[in-house]
Amino acid sequence: MGATRPTAAGSLAGAVAVAVAVVVAVTGAGVLGLGPLGAVGAARADSIRDMEYWLSDYGYRAAWDTTRGAGATVAVIDTGVDGSVPELQGAVVDGTDVSGIGSPDGQKPVGESSEHGTMVASLIAGRGTGAGSGVIGVAPEASLLTVSVALGAGSVDSDEQIAHAVRWAVDHGADVINMSLTRNSLDWPQSWDDAFSYAFDHDVVVVAAAGNRGSGTTEVGAPATIPGVVAVAGVDTAGDASFDASSQGITIAVAAPSEQLVGVVPGGGYVLWDGTSGAAPLVSGLAALVKSAHPELDANNVINRIIATAQPKGDPVPGPIYGYGLVDAGAAVTASVDPVASNPMGDLAAWIATYRPASTGGSLDTLVIPAPSPAPAASGPDTDAGGRGPDRPSVYTLIHWAVPLGLLLGFLILMATFALGAVSHFKGLLRK
């Protein structure tokens, strides 16, 4: 998680959430959290399913006629997933802790927003608690990996945690990695270059939340700015851009519901929550459905199906608010979509070659000065020349010029001095 101004979902009293959003000032990343986090309270499990409006409105039930995600594995890099709750029993197949304060299997909730990871996991692969009861995820037969990360005293550096977590997820069979977290900065540490490149090189889809204005994220931050990552924006129950529970940026891929989401908390129980932390797992679950239905597809084409079948929204398309549009799970699974040869969300290797010259053997006398990128306009065009990719900085490169230019200027000044002296001497001779 690595960010300067992360947010937390709030505290829990047993299985009941306090309806409060907490802003936590720490160095490193933060879960996208989510406020207000409201207790569902005494709601019965058989009434919870009725609250999951996205299952029908966004085509997930239609997709289930083809697949429910069996055979696909999603890694949840978050605050830990409590696999003992009824909805997640049998879903979590492996896990680890990279924070230094969790349990070896990654199932101990850790950090300021310890309930967060379980809530996210329930939206991806919740099994329900019976026919028509309890939270059911959008890919209810997918398998989950849990990698627990944490902030604060006693935990490992947050940037290091993320890099380690991504690599562990890849090595343990993830088809999809869900990252409901943000660094609250456009850039990211160089260690993430290697970790995310490792994921892409091993054919893994990486999905990240865009962030929430209500929590101080006014524009998309890393990892959602990393080329190749599927950045997810949030919409309200009417399908319109959420103001508090979303953010904007030219790297947005698609939009999914981020308001009035119902999730499961550690120990059991239900909460309503808002935030792109909930929108991202709806897209990660969709990626699992596509992979399950089309196991022959590589990650690039799984992503392409998601964006190509999204329902266009906003102007332009793709745009900084909705990306390519609202996800349509049924179409993503069943539609005829032309294949692609590369990741439609950008090429991290090309970005590294351009913006990390030292890592590609660049000479020491090459000076690269990145200029800050302006925040994208709310409804302006995608200014990235490549169509997609991160908010790339302008780059000014000076190659082998500094010393020759100084010598040339010195020579010209010397010649000008001699010329002025000669003219003055010549005028003196004329006066004589």
- How far is Cα 300 from Cα 346, in angstroms, rounded to an integer? 10
- How far is Cα 103 from Cα 268, in angstroms, rounded to an integer? 19
Specify whether the CB–CB gap between 29 and 8 falls below 8 A.
no
Residue partners of 374: CB distance under 8 A and separation at least 6: none
Cα–Cα separations (whole angstroms), residue 301 to 5, 281, 314, 334, 341:
34, 19, 24, 13, 8
- 175 in active site: no
- 382 in active site: no
Residue with tokens 């000669």: 422
Which one from 78, 94, 274, 391 is the annotated catalytic residue?
78
Which one from 99, 116, 215, 247 is the annotated catalytic residue?
116
- How far is Cα 385 from Cα 354, in angstroms, rounded to an integer? 15
Specify whether the CB–CB gap between 187 and 352 falls below 8 A.
no
Cα–Cα separations (whole angstroms), residue 379 to 194, 316, 361, 383:
33, 8, 39, 11
Task: Give exposure, 204-221, as e/b (b: 16+ Cβ within 10 Å).
Answer: bbbbbbbbbbbbbbebbb
Q: Is the peptide bond before 393 cis (omega within 30 degrees of 0)?
A: no
Task: Give exposure, 364-400, as e/b (b: 16+ Cβ within 10 Å).
Answer: eeeebeeeebeebeeeeebebeeebbbbbeeeeeeee
Question: How many of the other CB atoms lie within 10 Å of CB of 324?
Answer: 24
- How far is Cα 203 from Cα 295, in angstroms, rounded to an integer? 12
List strand residue ranges (DSSP E) for 322-400, in order: 366-371, 394-399
Specify whether the CB–CB gap between 165 and 150 falls below 8 A.
no
What is the helix, strand, coil percentage profile of the chain, to 5? Answer: 30, 20, 50
Which one from 113, 158, 180, 277 is the annotated catalytic residue?
277
- How far is Cα 174 from Cα 316, in angstroms, rounded to an integer? 33
- 277 in active site: yes
Provide the annotated active-site residues: 78, 116, 277
